[in-house]
Amino acid sequence: MSKGTLYLIPTTLGKTPENNSIPEYTLEVIRKLEVFAVENLRSAVKFLQWVGETVPEYNIEFHQLNKHTSGEEIFEILRPLKAGKDVGILSEAGAPAVADPGAKLVKMAHQNGIRVVPLVGPSSILLALMASGFNGQSFAFHGYLPLDARPRKQMIQQLEGESRRHDRTQIFMEAPYRNNDLLKSILETCSDTTRLCVAVDITLPEEQIISKEIGHWKKSRKPDLNKRPAIFLLYGK
Write the pLDDT tens digit of every residue in 7-57: 999 999 888 878 989 999 999 999 999 999 998 899 999 999 999 999 999
Q: Are residues 113 and 129 in the same domain?
A: no
Q: Are residues 28 and 94 in the same domain?
A: yes
Where is the domain boundary, 65, 86, 118?
118
Q: Are residues 103 and 128 in the same domain?
A: no
pLDDT at site 84: 96
In Å, how far from its chain's centre is CA 80? Answer: 26
Among 233, 232, 234, 228, smallest CA distance to 201 is for: 228
The CA distance from 190 to 127, in Å, is 24
Neighbour tally for 221: CB within 10 Å: 6
Give the pLDDT mean for 90-109. Answer: 89
Write the pLDDT tens digit of every residue in 180-235: 999 999 999 999 999 999 999 999 999 999 999 999 999 999 999 999 999 999 99
DSSP-based three-state secondary structure for 48: helix
Q: List the domain range (segments joined by +) for residue 187.
A: 124-235
Q: Against a cut of 0.85, is the pTM above it?
A: yes
The CA distance from 148 to 130, in Å, is 30
Give the residues across from 88 on adjacent strands. Answer: 7, 36
Neighbour tally for 220: CB within 10 Å: 10
Where is the domain boundary, 118, 136, 167?
118
